[in-house]
Amino acid sequence: MIQTNNRGLFLTFEGIDGSGKSTQCRMLADHLRAQGREVVLTREPGGSAGAEEIRRLVLEGDPARWSAETEILLFTAARRDHLERTIQPALEAGKVVVCDRFADSTRMYQGLSRGDLRATVDQLHRLMIQREPDLTVLIDMDPETGLSRAKGRQGREERFEDFGLQLQEKMRAGFLSLAEEFPERFRVIDGAQDLAAVAADVAAIVEAALDANA
């Protein structure tokens, strides 16, 4: 069930590229702040000064720059820094942490996209991270819609969004089976609904978790 070893609550959002997670993270943070809660809105890779530097290393430049294994190390290094500097201190201070992607993204993107490296991802996670979110919201979405949204954005971070439809299908299925693997912390939301309806579903789920954690 919900982990209560910290006073705060650790919430993560997951989903394929273009699923609308980032918007929903912001909307949830605004909603919780309006209720008077202290919220830290953060993201991965990134979320601390060091981890943002690693983000640039891993998401910009030649997509063939890193091997799959090196990429796992970089994402995990970024996560460790983010956890030490941002997430743990916030949870210890009783805040709600809303994080756009976390270890489940590594389980999917590095664990599935270039061969079966899930066991390596899990080993490194056990060694260096350990911590799982209290609650993970999976915004489930049809990859064709997700991809057209992701491609519509400009920017240099096209590393993963270039993988195409087939990979996004694989990621979607992977995320759904991850939700079955960790049913106690995963909640799946239909991302095809309009923004406000998704946000209402998210708010209901998170409020239930906050009540249970009170």
From the list 29, 39, 40, 44, which residue makes contact with ligand TYD (rule: CB under 6 A)? 44
What is the number of other CB atoms lying within 10 angstroms of the CB of residue 143? 22
Question: Which H or E run includes 12?
Answer: strand 9-14
Given the complex with ligand TYD, which of 6 and 105 has the nearer CB atom? 105
- For ligand TYD (CB under 6 A), the number of binding residues is 15
150 binds ligand TYD (CB under 6 A): yes
CB 72 → ligand TYD: shortest distance, Å?
Answer: 8
One-letter amino acid of 81:
D
- Cα 17 to Cα 110, 111, 201, 213: the distances in Å are 14, 16, 20, 30
- Closest CB 151 distance from ligand TYD, rounded Å: 10
The DSSP bridge partners found for residue 49 are none
Segment near ligand TYD (CB under 6 A); pick from 91-99, 105-113, 182-190, 206-214: 105-113
Cβ(96)–Cβ(167) below 8 Å: no
22 binds ligand TYD (CB under 6 A): yes
Asked if residues 70 and 116 have their Cβ atoms less than 8 Å apart, the reply is no
Of the candidates 211, 213, 195, 178, the residue with the CA atom closest to the CA atom of residue 30: 195
Smallest gap from residue 7 Cβ to ligand TYD (A)? 25
- Is 42 an interacting residue with respect to ligand TYD (CB under 6 A)? no
Binding residues (CB under 6 A) for ligand TYD: these are 17, 22, 44-45, 59, 75, 100-101, 105-106, 109-110, 150, 160-161
